[in-house]
């Protein structure tokens, strides 16, 4: 770590933080010095980066002196408190929480889609919700080619999207079921093992969940379509890693299934995995560990002249979180 940038990772011991360290290493991001921060509970732990041991420190207001890029993945409350301090210390913040996503002064970036918006940043850049990223990646080429008129999206979200406690709950309940013991919900509102929960995040007064409203508002901001009609449903499923989304779109001009495959295939960050005769379509296990989002089950809507159905899956810890954040930082240093 002799040349490059001074990088800080806040929330370094969490699922997204540890993925960020791994992806910085994989993508050979130019790190001159790495500082790992977490809560007091995790301070003192040791992490390995590029063969060196890095001691985790408690994050605080004085943590960012001399930092060039700070990745935040420790929750919106901490981001709201500490990100402005990091900016005042001279760092550029890439924030993975929901704290600044809908702030008009903060760009919300998926590099393959709206890299141009990063020029407007004033020290903080937001990375979208993981479900938003997986969903919006295939929407962009369709929108460019035929203009989106309406989107219906139903997500099937892995438990790791809820953090370490979500993963532990699914594992514990699965083992309890195998032993013939009672399956009890402690973290999620209902048992998640061998079940699906049509509820991700808290409910708003209109009956939609926070996760569903994020999907609507963030897609509109990223695509720069503030009035795009989007109908969302988000569901938690007993999968450890990778979110999947069933999407139906209506476009202003017709897009055939064959043309959609070509549009998806030519778009950076997407892979077409679509041969039903060979049972070839994306699954969470199949996409885990990949940075691309995979699209399949591409077919024309039987009920609508300009409608299209498809299924998209992506690793929400990588492209849905850490990889997207590192790609944003790569844009910054170009």
Residues acting as catalytic residues: 130, 243
The Cα–Cα gap between 79 and 76 comes to 5
H helices of 89-203, where? 111-114, 130-146, 164-178
**Quick check: helix, strand or coil at residue 183?**
coil
Rg of the chain, C-alpha, whole Å: 20
The secondary structure of 217-285, three-state, reads: HHHHHHHCCCCCCEEEEEEECCCCCCEEEEEEEEECCCCCHHHHHHHHHCCCCEEECCEHHHCECCCHH
The DSSP output letter for 137 is H
Residues 178 and 181: their CA atoms lie apart, in Å, by 8
Strands 52-58 and 124-126: unpaired
Q: Which two tokens stand for residue 287?
A: 């996409």
């Amino acid at each position: 770590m002799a040349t490059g940038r001074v990088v800080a990772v806040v929330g370094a011991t969490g699922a997204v933080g540890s993925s960020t360290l791994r992806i910085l290493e994989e993508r050979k991001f130019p790190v001159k010095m790495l500082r790992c921060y977490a809560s007091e509970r995790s301070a003192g732990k040791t992490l390995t980066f590029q063969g060196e041991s890095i001691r985790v420190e408690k994050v605080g207001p004085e943590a960012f002196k001399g930092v060039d890029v700070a990745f935040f993945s420790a929750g919106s409350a901490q981001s709201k408190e500490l990100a402005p301090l990091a900016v005042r210390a001279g760092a550029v913040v890439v924030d993975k929480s929901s704290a600044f996503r809908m702030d008009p002064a903060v760009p919300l970036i998926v590099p393959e889609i709206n890299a141009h918006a990063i020029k407007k940043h004033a020290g903080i850049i937001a990375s979208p919700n993981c479900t938003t990223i997986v969903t919006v990646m295939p929407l962009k080429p369709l929108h460019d080619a035929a203009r989106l008129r309406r989107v219906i999206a139903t997500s099937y979200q892995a438990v790791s999207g809820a953090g370490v406690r979500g993963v532990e709950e699914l594992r514990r309940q699965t083992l309890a079921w195998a032993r013939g013991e009672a399956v009890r919900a402690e973290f999620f509102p209902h048992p998640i093992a061998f079940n699906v929960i049509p509820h991700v995040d808290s409910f708003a007064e209109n009956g939609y969940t926070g996760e569903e409203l994020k999907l609507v508002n963030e897609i509109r901001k990223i695509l720069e379509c503030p009035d795009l009609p989007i109908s969302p449903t988000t569901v938690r499923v007993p999968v450890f890693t990778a979110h999947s989304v069933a999407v139906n779109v209506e476009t202003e001009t017709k897009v055939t299934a064959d043309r959609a495959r070509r549009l998806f295939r030519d778009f950076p960050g997407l892979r077409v995995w679509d041969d039903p005769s060979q049972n070839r379509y994306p699954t969470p296990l199949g996409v885990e560990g990949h940075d691309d989002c995979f699209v399949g089950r591409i077919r024309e809507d039987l009920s609508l002249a300009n409608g299209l159905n498809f299924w998209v899956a992506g690793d929400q810890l990588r492209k849905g979180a850490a990889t997207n954040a590192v790609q944003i930082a790569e844009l910054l240093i170009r």
